[in-house]
Amino acid sequence: MNFLVHINGHEHAVEPAALAALRAQILDAVRAGGAFVAVPDIGCADSIELITPATPVRIEVAPEPITADGDDAHADVAYYDLGTWEPPDWLEPLDD
């Protein structure tokens, strides 16, 4: 059973063996007023996250097994080319 650690909007897959040390590092960083913490992410090089007393952190059990095989460690990222938006004529600034 792996864990998902959400830090400031970033999701990290963490093995159970590394979770206790990561939690201790996060708590130490919070008590120190802030510090960079290395997150042992499955299938990726370690990520470095800045942890402060205001940083949102959530730890939960992963809903399915996560392995380092291929690109399955994280969900796919989608990119959209939205282009330029031209406002309609009726949406002009109001003159006072």
pLDDT of amino acid 9: 87
Residue 55 scores a pLDDT above 70: yes
Retrieve residue 56's tokens.
């949102």
pLDDT tier for residue 73 given thresholds of 50, 70 and 90: very low
Give the whole-number percent of the chain exceeding pLDDT 90: 36
Q: Is residue 57 within 8 Å of 7, Cβ to Cβ?
A: yes
**pTM score:** 0.64
Can you tell me the distance from the alpha carbon of 24 to that of 21, in angstroms, rounded to the nearest whole number? 5
Retrieve residue 26's tokens.
């996060």
Retrieve residue 53's tokens.
């007393």
**Nearest one of 42, 35, 38 to 17, comparing CA atoms:** 42
pLDDT tier for residue 94 given thresholds of 50, 70 and 90: low
Query: Count of residues for the chain?
Result: 96
